[in-house]
Amino acid sequence: MQEKALRGLQGGVLLFVGSALMWAQSISLVVRNHGHTGHDSQPETVAGPKSVNRVAAQESYGKLPVYFEANRGQADQRVKFLSRGTGHTLFLTSKEFVLVLTKPEQTAHDKREKREETSRTVLRMAFLGANPQSRVAGREQLTGKVNYFIGNDPKKWHTSVPTYERAQYQNLYPGIDLTFYGNQCQLEYDFVVRPGADPKSIALGFKGADKLEVDLQGDLVLQTAAGPIRQQKPFIYQEVNGVRRKIAGGYVLKNIHQVGFQVASYDARRPLVLDPVLFYSTYLGGSGLDLFSSSGNVAVDSSGNAYVTGLTESPNFPSTSGSFQTAFGPGSRDVFITKLTPTGSGLVYSTFVGGNNEAGGYALALDSAGSAYVTGYTNSSDFPVTPGAVQSSLGGLSDAIVLKLNATGSALIYSTYLGGSNVDGGNGIAVDSSGNAYVSGQTQSTNFPTTAGAFQTSFGGGFSDAWAAKLNPTGTALVYSTYLGGSNPDGSYAVAIDAIGSAYLTGYTSSSDFPTTSGALQTTYGGGGADAFVTKLNPTGSGLVFSTLLGGTGDDDGIGIAVDSTASAYVTGQTSSTNFPATPGAFQTAYGGGNSDGYVAKLNPAGTALVYSTYLGGSGGDDGSGIAIDPSGNAFVTGGTSSTNFPAVNPIQPNNAGGSDAFVMELNPLGTALVFSTYLGGSGTDYGVGIALDTLPNPNIYVTGDTNSTNFPTTSGAFQTTFGGTYDVFVTKLANIVLPPGATSGKVTGGGTVNVTGGIANFGFIVQAQSTTGQISGDVQYVNHASGAKVHSVAFTTFTISGNTATFSGTCTNNALPCTFTVTVQDNDQPPGLDSFVISVDGGAPEGGTLRGGDIEIH
């Protein structure tokens, strides 16, 4: 399914009702969805980015191959525009669209000869009750021309026929436009319902379908000679004070051949369904190998700066002057720690940390002061450690490392080894409000440092154990340190903490005697190569609050973990178990196929039951890696997929672009449906590793991973738009913003913090004007932490750029009440600190000024 946007404007609502054509359609009041099933035919794939958000993605993906020809005599005079593709031709008339589907069929006439014949199915969708005077116009003319040299009469030839990216019916119904567009040989259409218009006036009549029905899932199914065409149930919701509230609605059959839409009541002042776009996307790497290795490698501060860590073999990995270590060390691998500006256009700092051999950063966390805490591994005997550290020398073949970097990236506040005489590594890290660091990982050492009174002070056996440790704020002592494991291999990949300092760990175990608690969800080992586990340690590390296995008869791993405000744990990872415990009514209850699927599971606070559990996957290999939770309980997940049929909903990138791609998705709070899901990648191998959310009311999504694709989607103005070599890191920010397609006459983006009376405020925005229509679109969010004001844009009325200054204004909501706003920003090209952001709400006193931190870019 793919969703569209329903953006509220003062006095009305802007409604996008989008559908993909050819063999699937979608509707959106979002009403969008993609996906169909056919029996005898082999249909084209029909998922694609929506027109409302294609601009940012278009900066990466270039011109679209689907185009619309103006009719210059090459078709019946009733046809205004036509579009041709493999297996279909689309004709747009003033009253309907006509879709001709063709399918080759082999017919054997005798044993020696096989002939290929073609069957045709014609599907017509009439606009019932529409404006007969509606004008059909081309939008965004392309440079390419079409020529027809048919027959030997030059007078009947048609040359230099113009082509367009989109074809639009203007005012098809009162206040409603219809736009057709395409992406990568896929056709889609949107109804755009302006404020004051009634979506119930839309009525579609179908011919060429033997039967229409709305099934029990709310999907619209059109039975045709070519097989069924399925339009999934519309997904409709509205943002209210940062909380997503589902709006009831869907298809309604007006008679056996007519379809309309019904929508429950909603607040027309508020936006409904904000769709994701690429705010920025950048490579980060040099000429060698640059990688992320753990799900917790990205974090975001209150200004929208993204912090990442990983490992690099590139001597020319980008570093910044004044950072702790500006040159690659004498060893073969170094840790890198990089802080990007909120617009992804530059580095606030980037530093190496390493010694005479190998070192890598596996996970990162932030405190409120902007200090970065990193764990990973090293086998360097001269890795930089600080006086008084927990462990000042390398203990064995390799040790875990834990370090704290100051807010400017210029110095180590502390750095320590942590390990025994064998191989040890740190995979997960979290930080509490007091600056205590919670770390987890894997150890092969029977003398890994543990503390008296810890839950498990002895090595459990087998190849390895998981471990968990809590370091004091100065990094000089262990508050606690414990093994966690049984008699076979075990390891922890991630750790999260709740408000009282309980640590939640996930990872894998092959031990039938892995420590579990009475009454836990699953106390018996499922079998296969391993089970995932979810363990909650008490704040002192002396006991288990709960500990449970999670898995079936195949191989299962827990890779990422997050905890919400109610102490419910969310886990993602990979499974090859066809009987992995999925819950009834979950988004995907059956194994998708291939060698693995991803999954998302939510456990109740006691660890005794699943709130929900769902597979995530298609017919190839899929796995979840990173997970983050917003205040409403939506789960945001990233990972990797080699499936060509991985579920895509509202995607920025609808199809797998290479052997494997990263994916990014949002699962609703009940675990029953995807809010959006998109591929993210190029023609090589791409993998999503970490994910984080910022603190704005409608959070932006920050995704990290690895790529060897030379055409990974990057955005104009990003820090590094070209591939460095071997493998690069990528950092991508997705904003839940609706943007229309087409070239822009101006665009400004930004995010950060400013001083206000009595405290600070944070903001984020993207605003642009279309060059052809002058339409202003985008999103502004502003939170004044001193006054409590929460301002969110609804519509824009003005937008001007003069030199390094941009001003935009419009209508908004302030803590759910209608308001107006005016914003003036300056891009002084020297982030951070010299750009400025000033906002006035309802004509009141200006707030803001020079940025405390952040960045503003006028494009």
Q: What is the pLDDT of residues 174-187, one digit of tens each?
A: 877 787 876 444 56
Q: Which two tokens stand for residue 117?
A: 């014949």
The pLDDT value recorded for residue 527 is: 85
Residue at token pair 């202003």: 776
Give me the sign of the Cα torsion angle 7, 8, 14, 16. Answer: positive
Which residue(s) pair with 556 in the sheet?
575
Give phi and psi for 833, each to the nearest 5: 110, -25
CA gap 197, 849 in Å, rounded: 40
Count other Cβ atoms within 10 Å, centred on residue 258.
Answer: 15
Helix (H, G, I), strand (E, B) or coil at 676: strand
The continuous run of DSSP H or E covering 854 comes out as strand 847-858
Tokens representing 107 are: 């017919």
User: Could you tell me the two tokens for 412?
Assistant: 């180590």
Partners of residue 504 on adjacent β-strands: 496, 536
Tell me, what's the pLDDT at 602?
Answer: 98
CA distance 505 to 43: 44
CA contacts within 13 A on the Cβ side of 464 = 18
According to DSSP, residue 51 is labeled G
Alpha-carbon distance values, 52 to 86, 734, 737, 801 (Å)? 25, 15, 9, 23
**DSSP, residue by residue, 156-214:** G-EEEEEEEEEEEEEEEETTEEEEEEESSS-EEEEEEE-TT--GGG--EEEES-SEEEE
d(CA 633, CA 638): 16
Q: What is the DSSP letter of 53?
A: G
- pLDDT value of position 167: 85
- Distance, in Å, from the CA atom of 421 to the CA atom of 418, rounded to the nearest integer, reads 11
Residues facing 480 on adjacent strands: 470
> CB within 8 A of 817, min separation 6: which ones?
none
> Which residue matches tokens 């104009």?
716
Q: pLDDT tens-digit profile of 762-777? A: 888 989 888 877 888 8
pTM above 0.85, yes or no: no
Distance of alpha carbon 249 from the chain centroid = 25
Sheet of 622-629, strand order: 622-629, 635-641, 661-667, 674-680
Between CA 206 and CA 19 the distance in angstroms is: 14
Residue 745 burial class via C-beta count within 10 angstroms: exposed 0-12, middle 13-18, buried 19 and up: middle
Residue 32 is which amino acid? R
Q: Report residues of the chain scoring pLDDT below 50.
A: 1-65, 104-118, 183-185, 237-239, 242-244, 269-275, 832
DSSP string over 57-94: HHHHH-S-S--EEE-SSSS-TTEEEEEEETTEEEEEES
User: Are 460 and 467 within 8 A, CB to CB?
Assistant: no
